[in-house]
Structure 1
Amino acid sequence: MPTGGPTGGVVLRQAIRGQRRRVIAASLLGMTHQGCEALVPVVIGATIDTAVATGSSAALLRLLIVLAVLFLVLSTCYRTSARITEGSGELAAHRLRLDLAARVLDPRGGADADRLPGALTSIATNDARRVGSVATVIAYGVSAVAALVISAIALLRISVPLGLLVLLGIPPLLWLGHRISRPLERRSETEQERAAHASGVAADLVSGLRVLKGMGAESAAVARYRTTSQDSLSAALRAARSRAGHEGAVLALTGVFIAVIAVVGAYLAMDGSISVGDLVAAVGLAQFLLGPFQLLTYVNAELAQGRASARRIAEVLASPVTVGTGKDAPADRPAGRLALRGVSLGALRGVDLDLPAGSLTGVVTRDPAAAADLLVCLAREADPAEGTIELDGTPLTSLDPDALRRAVLVAHHDADLFESTLLDNVRAGAGDTAPDDPAPVERALRASAADEVARLLPEGGDTLLAERGRSLSGGQRQRVALARALAAERPVLVLHDPTTAVDTVTESRIAARLREIRRDRTTILVTTSPALLAVTDRVVVLEDGAVRAAGHHTELLAADATYRAAVLA
């Protein structure tokens, strides 16, 4: 469990506290419902003693009216309480999903460390629902306890021994029910962990389906998922057996308890200590008690699963951040000058770079890890282990991550598209300015040649794209993703291999237009594409994680055999 954040208990209490008004209202209505339910056998017993035994029609009519009123009140209270409790559970789960989304999207990062996207989705859906269910069952638990208390009072009025039997027997039964739920809590947590992992693996395999087919690795992928799915199934079956055992054990205990009440009541009736009507009321109350006990069994099981899910949610919310929070913000219109001083992280080894404001710089490396680590540093997804990176003379570590990303945009090679229209995907980069000023979107579409993609689609730019843009070819997806990055018009833009799937002719057009649309803005192209490198002001070559050479593209082609092999291979 990470430190410095909420615990599972805190998550659970906050979920309930956030819905306290609804929970209190539902509890009061539920207590009224259960109280009326408990009074039904008491009124029936009174009817036998005061109306049936005496033959009084007036008394019978009065008591029948009382019964009708009881049923009207209890049914109305039940319906209203059920609506409120279900609403409180949904609202509590929704609030948790918002908190989880805010943590996952926190610009400081860290929530997705060592977690597959599918696992996070499972936590935000299944676990949030289970914790939200706790806010629902609290009202049920309170009303069940109220029913037990009212039944005990009614039995005390009928017979002190019967009332004492219920009052003294309820606490041990509740304690035993809580102890029996412990294995269910542990197995429920394991079940949710395995289910989340299976969801993550499934999402991972689906996203890489084309690659797997191209490699002929479908059988290995299926075997991997089958193993994960079997583990998840085994955990689910263990949790189901635990829940069945829990419910069966509690039901057996309550059955024995109710039988004892009925036997004691029958003995007292035969002894003459209570009347026939009192015996009917006592037996009716004993049978009624089965409902509250079953309700408490259900509440115990939901609480056990809710506690397990709350711990998993707390682990995400308490995840340590990847980068610290700076207090400064870039200037309203940053010049865009970048300076790297002895930057080391992962495959990078003491990188020194000066990127003038408004320059178009190419970065060439044959090591994918070095390229990835450079992007991570520039996006401030992680801070360098050594050295500093400055934007206009200000270290990135002193800048607020969210404010920094409004000035510096790193567009990764594998950027996904949204399940929306092509234009909406591009407008997402332009942000709030898109509806008022369509010019950035239009310029970005033309510069990336994504306007040509739009013309080929059935409904043009308004064509709905499939999930992650799978309805487009690889090159078309790259062009739309590039348009989205260009539409943002950030002072500093870092592009990683933006045209690897684009044909040579289109790539040359994109290269020429890219230089024009990014004029006077700092742009970094991490690529080995000769078409893109040809339009840069300068190319920096990284080898073994450090800067080995720098110069113009044509100069390096003529003088550097290693560079020539990397670019023209």
Structure 2
Amino acid sequence: MQIRDLPYTDPGDPDVRSGPRFLLWLGRNQLSGQFNSLLWGLIGQLGVAALPLGVGMAVQATVDGSGTRLMYAAGLLMLLGAVIALGETMLHRSTITNWITAAARVHQLLARRTVELGSLLTRRVAAGEVVAVSTGDVEKIGWFVEAVSRFLAAAVALIAVCVGLVIYEPTLGSVVAIGIPLIALAVLPLLPVATRRADIQRDKAGIATELASDTVAGLRVLRGIGGEELFLDRYRRASQEMRRASVHSASMWSLISAIQVLLPGALMLTVVVYGAHLALDGRVTVGELVTVYSAVLLAAHPMRTFEEIAMAYSYSKPSAKRAARVLALRRDTAGSGAAHTAAPTGDLYDPVTGMLAPAGRLTAVVCGDPDAAGLLAERLGGHPADSGRPSVLLGGAPLDELPLTAARTAVLVQDKEPVLLSGTLRELLDVPASGEVSASDALEAAQCGDVLQALARASADQDADPMETRITERGRSLSGGQRQRLALARSLVTDPGVLVLDEPTSAVDSHTESRIAAGVKRLREGRTTVVLSSSPLLLELADRVVLMDGETVAAVGTHRELLRSEGRYRAVVTRESGDESGPRTADGGLAKPVESA
């Protein structure tokens, strides 16, 4: 895979049983790229390893006064320089390719899982962890994947250096052959400590990221209640804890780096002292001493890759673990979905609660508990909170068994707090849709006239088209009611077979709410619509009203029928006390008691 071939047609099915298994799976999917990097790495590293031979030949030729051998040595050094330049250049290209393609594969896997889970992702995994996985963790995983081939090339080069020196000069070569493995393995006892400290530092960073995300998302609310300083203090404390953990982790890696500098220096000093003694005794020539010394000097570079691979693995292992935890999440399904290839039609029925929404009609659902309403909305969208319960049925077909595309075509759920993505209004409304509802009709039904005016005023161009005006991230430049209405317009444009709206008018005034209710009723005529609300203005226009008592349907009827017959319904809808549950008149008022004669 080359960078120009990205994105992957299919990023594959990852092994998410553990972080190391996920890293191994990534490596197996890049075998050709890893082999390519290993090949170029060997060319460059072996070229570097052969340099001491040319240097030693040149020194010895100079000592012996041989111009011919000096020219041969110069030619060898020039050839090795060209080989090293070629190897290092191509190694850099291939390792960066491995890094980018591995990161792209993880990004695609995360994007696929995010699309599959939708809003359930942040209910199962903290938002800060999702941000950490999709940013820093992907980079660390790519770092380890690309470092593997360079480490293998360096290890092979060091083995070749040790073997070559033992053959070239057995006395000094044996010293080097013993010293290099000891240096490479000297930091192993410190790696578990460094890894633990790095894990703590990343955990602290995840907490700080989550606090920052929550603080920014709720800044307007926090300012309204005067709580921004409280959250900022929490973030400051989390940030300081992360800083202390980072310093604690860095101190161990600094010690490992110091050892990787100190021990090769000690080996080099040993070779110089012992080699000089041998040279004075006439047991080695000056050229041989220079060759061995140069080999030890140049071996320090590939030995640093041992530290790098240890650091890369210690950082990427928890990152891969977090990524695997996110990728292991699945949309709960009770079957394979093979029996249903298209979006079904018909009544929407929840076997758990007994709630029925007849096809083609507007059904309102009244829940005394807002949290229970949210859970019901999730179930109606095919995402049950408890996977052991039976799925919601649409036309007799379980939503959990539908392919994801068919399920999303069939049912659309608008959350109580929908999110607006940044971009122009035209881009916001450019969503997969049936094509039966235009953007202008949806905006009109959702009463977005004042929103269009506000967007036009916000544009620098006086004659600007409000549809081309940019909306800031999450629509923070708009009021809560404006965001809610734009989200409703987006849902109406989609025109799904079943539309579930959870409190779609909670942030608007009663006059606007009345017009929105009429607009939704008109635009969704003949389509199945479920509205979870306790607003009388919406309930009045519903074809059918369902009163929920916990997870059970308590009563079914029209708004006026339930006002007359159900005290619990009146208590929720009119916010009355429980003792005002006597008989009602046709318009929902208390009936006047009849006096006895």
| Partner SS, residue 414 of structure 1 | coil
Deviation at 1:387, TM superposition (A): 5.8
Please tell me the residue identity of whatever aligns with 1:503: D
Instruction: Choose which of 179, 182, 187 in structure 2 pairs with 1:169.
Output: 179
Cα 1:329–1:376, aligned 2, differ >3 Å: closer, same or farther? farther
- The alignment of Structure 1 onto Structure 2 pairs a total of residues equal to 553
Query: Which residue in 2 is equivalent to 1:346?
Result: none
Query: Which residue in 2 is equivalent to 1:486?
Result: 492
Counterparts of 1:413 and 1:110 in 2: how far apart (Å)? 14
Query: Which residue in 2 is equivalent to 1:394?
Result: 397
Deviation at 1:155, TM superposition (A): 2.0
Deviation at 1:558, TM superposition (A): 4.6
Counterparts of 1:168 and 1:269 in 2: how far apart (Å)? 21
Instruction: Choose which of 38, 49, 53 in structure 1 pairs with 2:49.
Output: 38
Counterparts of 1:76 and 1:388 in 2: how far apart (Å)? 61
- 1:234-293 deviation digits (Å, cap 9, x = unpaired): 322222122112222333333323332333322221221111111111222222222222
Are 2:22 and 1:11 aligned? yes
Please tell me the residue identity of whatever aligns with 1:39: A
Query: Which residue in 2 is equivalent to 1:264?
Result: 274
| Partner SS, residue 116 of structure 2 | coil
Q: Runs of at least 4 residues of structure 1 off by over 6 A?
A: none
Query: Which residue in 2 is equivalent to 1:199?
Result: 209
Deviation at 1:232, TM superposition (A): 2.3
Please tell me the residue identity of whatever aligns with 2:51: V
Query: Which residue in 2 is equivalent to 1:25?
Result: 36
Deviation at 1:102, TM superposition (A): 2.0
- 1:277-317 deviation digits (Å, cap 9, x = unpaired): 11111222222222222232222221222223222222222
Determine what percentage of the aligned residue pairs are the same residue: 32
Query: Which residue in 2 is equivalent to 1:179?
Result: 189
Alignment check: 8 A CA contact 2:361 2:526 kept: yes
Deviation at 1:527, TM superposition (A): 0.8
Counterparts of 1:285 and 1:332 in 2: how far apart (Å)? 69
TM-score (norm 2): 0.86
Are 2:434 and 1:423 aligned? no
Query: Which residue in 2 is equivalent to 1:375?
Result: 377
Alignment check: 8 A CA contact 2:345 2:410 kept: no
Please tell me the residue identity of whatever aligns with 1:448: A
Q: Which moved more, 1:196-205 or 1:225-234?
A: 225-234
Alignment check: 8 A CA contact 1:356 1:522 kept: yes
Query: Which residue in 2 is equivalent to 1:84?
Result: 94
Counterparts of 1:99 and 1:77 in 2: how far apart (Å)? 33
Query: Which residue in 2 is equivalent to 1:445?
Result: 443
Counterparts of 1:404 and 1:131 in 2: how far apart (Å)? 34
Cα 1:60–1:158, aligned 2, differ >3 Å: closer, same or farther? same
Deviation at 1:101, TM superposition (A): 2.4
- 1:205-260 deviation digits (Å, cap 9, x = unpaired): 21111111222222221232223223322322222122112222333333323332
Alignment check: 8 A CA contact 1:330 1:404 kept: no
Cα 1:298–1:363, aligned 2, differ >3 Å: closer, same or farther? same
Describe how 1:107-186 pairs up with structure 2 within 5 A: 107=117, 112-186=122-196
Instruction: Choose which of 413, 437, 452 in structure 1 pairs with 2:416.
Output: 413
Counterparts of 1:169 and 1:450 in 2: how far apart (Å)? 76
Counterparts of 1:147 and 1:386 in 2: how far apart (Å)? 60
Instruction: Choose which of 344, 353, 356 in structure 2 pairs with 1:354.
Output: 356
Counterparts of 1:112 and 1:165 in 2: how far apart (Å)? 58
| Partner SS, residue 429 of structure 2 | helix
Deviation at 1:402, TM superposition (A): 4.5
Instruction: Choose which of 41, 48, 52 in structure 1 pairs with 2:59.
Output: 48
| Partner SS, residue 481 of structure 2 | helix
TM-score (norm 1): 0.90
Counterparts of 1:553 and 1:334 in 2: how far apart (Å)? 29
Query: Which residue in 2 is equivalent to 1:462?
Result: 468
Are 2:535 and 1:529 aligned? yes
Q: Which moved more, 1:107-116 or 1:412-421?
A: 107-116
Please tell me the residue identity of whatever aligns with 2:360: G
Query: Which residue in 1 is equivalent to 2:483?
Result: 477
| Partner SS, residue 540 of structure 1 | strand
Are 2:542 and 1:550 aligned? no
Query: Which residue in 2 is equivalent to 1:311?
Result: 321
| Partner SS, residue 273 of structure 1 | coil
Alignment check: 8 A CA contact 2:279 2:285 kept: yes
Counterparts of 2:29 and 2:393 in 1: how far apart (Å)? 43
Q: CA RMSD in A?
A: 2.6
5+ residue gaps in structure 2? 1-13, 457-464, 576-597
Query: Which residue in 1 is equivalent to 2:4?
Result: none
